[in-house]
């Protein structure tokens, strides 16, 4: 099996895969995509579930996505995971998408069914499961602040938290206009949150808001490098906080180190990676994911980085 396949491979697919012991039925698409650890989760999952097929990486450029997806459906693929920068293109390509993924503004999981392409965003649901696993409590009962809620996975998690009915939700972002627009959109379509606020990503403005939340989430890329700036000034963290860092670097991030110093409980993004993958599996096969096989595969891959 090749480490990474390309759009050109799809043009002569039967010849390309002729020597493989199992036919590819799932893939992760992106640009780049060689770093993705998804095969290390999903190939063990397929084996554990007794499903004949394998999971591959497929490098697609921006102008190749719209053509590649229907071609993959005809070649027998069950579905795909989508990583940067193709999540918006995946949303546009999907023919059936629910209201929450549309509000999240991106799709990261597709399932092919005839000429129908179903689209989902597993960032939000994966986050909910990860928080419950890490802290033993449901997101719906927590007051939550999301640092970097203006786009990407941060926006998806914000929408999910709102749909879960968090009693208080604080959207923190460097560009305040982005989260103010998201707040207005959520107020119009989601009614569960009792207290929905926006906040500039500055110490002075965060001080009051973070004092009134239970869970602080880092949805930015800060923490992937050892010399990154702090996500939140350490003196704003207390032992009453739960801290979730969506970054998974393979070690303790600066945010989690600061949380530990303050006496706060913390968790990194590894469980979110795992549960995103499990939810995708459930969409593809309408069956429970073999979660422990996927966990073992992820741990064995020594995965680092922010996303599947």
Would you call the peptide bond into 85 cis, given omega within 30 degrees of 0 as the criterion? yes
Q: What phi and psi, each to the nearest 5 degrees, are found at residue 157?
A: -65, -40
pLDDT of 15 strictly over 90: yes
The pLDDT tens digits for 195-212 are 999 999 999 999 999 999
Q: Is 31 within 8 Å of 5 (Cβ atoms)?
A: no
Does residue 166 surpass a pLDDT of 80?
A: yes
What is the sign of the dihedral through the CA atoms of 214, 247, 280 and 188? positive
pLDDT digit string (tens) for 73-118?
A: 999 999 999 998 999 999 999 999 999 999 999 999 999 999 999 9
Do the domains 124-268 and 5-121+271-300 match in fold? Answer: yes
Distance CA 11, CA 124 (A): 35
Q: Are 120 and 82 in contact (CB under 8 A)?
A: no
Tell whether domain 124-268 is in CATH 3.40.50.720. yes
Catalytically active residues are 87
In the chain, domain spans: 5-121+271-300, 124-268
Q: What is the mean pLDDT of the chain?
A: 93
Contact 232, 258 (CB under 8 A): yes
- Topology adopted by domain 5-121+271-300: Rossmann fold (3.40.50)
Give the global pTM.
Answer: 0.93
């Amino acid at each position: 099996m090749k480490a990474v396949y390309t759009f050109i491979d799809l043009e002569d697919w039967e010849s390309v895969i002729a020597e493989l012991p199992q036919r590819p039925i799932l893939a992760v698409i992106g640009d780049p995509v060689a770093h993705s650890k998804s095969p290390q989760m999903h190939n063990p999952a397929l084996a554990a579930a007794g499903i004949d097929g394998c999971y591959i990486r497929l490098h697609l450029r921006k102008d190749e996505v719209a053509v590649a997806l229907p071609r993959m459906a005809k070649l027998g693929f069950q579905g795909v995971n989508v990583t940067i920068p193709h999540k918006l293109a995946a949303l546009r390509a999907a023919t059936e998408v629910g209201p929450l993924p549309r509000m999240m503004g991106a799709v990261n999981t597709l399932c092919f069914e005839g000429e129908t392409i179903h689209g989902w965003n597993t960032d939000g649901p994966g986050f909910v499961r990860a928080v419950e696993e890490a802290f033993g409590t449901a997101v719906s009962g927590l007051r939550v602040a999301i640092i970097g809620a203006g786009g990407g996975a941060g926006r998806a998690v914000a929408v999910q938290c709102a749909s879960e009915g968090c009693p208080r939700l604080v959207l923190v972002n460097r560009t305040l206009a982005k989260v103010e627009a998201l707040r207005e959109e959520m107020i119009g379509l989601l009614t569960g949150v009792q207290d929905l606020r926006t906040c500039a990503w500055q110490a002075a403005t965060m001080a009051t808001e973070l004092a009134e939340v239970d869970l602080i989430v880092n949805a930015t890329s800060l923490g992937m490098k050892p010399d990154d700036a702090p996500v939140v000034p350490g003196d704003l963290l207390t032992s009453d906080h739960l801290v979730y860092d969506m970054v998974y670097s393979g070690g303790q991030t600066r945010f989690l180190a600061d949380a530990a110093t303050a006496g706060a409980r913390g968790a990194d993004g590894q469980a979110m990676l795992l549960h995103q993958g499990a939810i995708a599996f459930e969409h593809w096969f309408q069956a429970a994911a073999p979660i422990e096989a996927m966990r073992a595969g992820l741990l064995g891959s020594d995965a680092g980085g922010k996303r599947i």
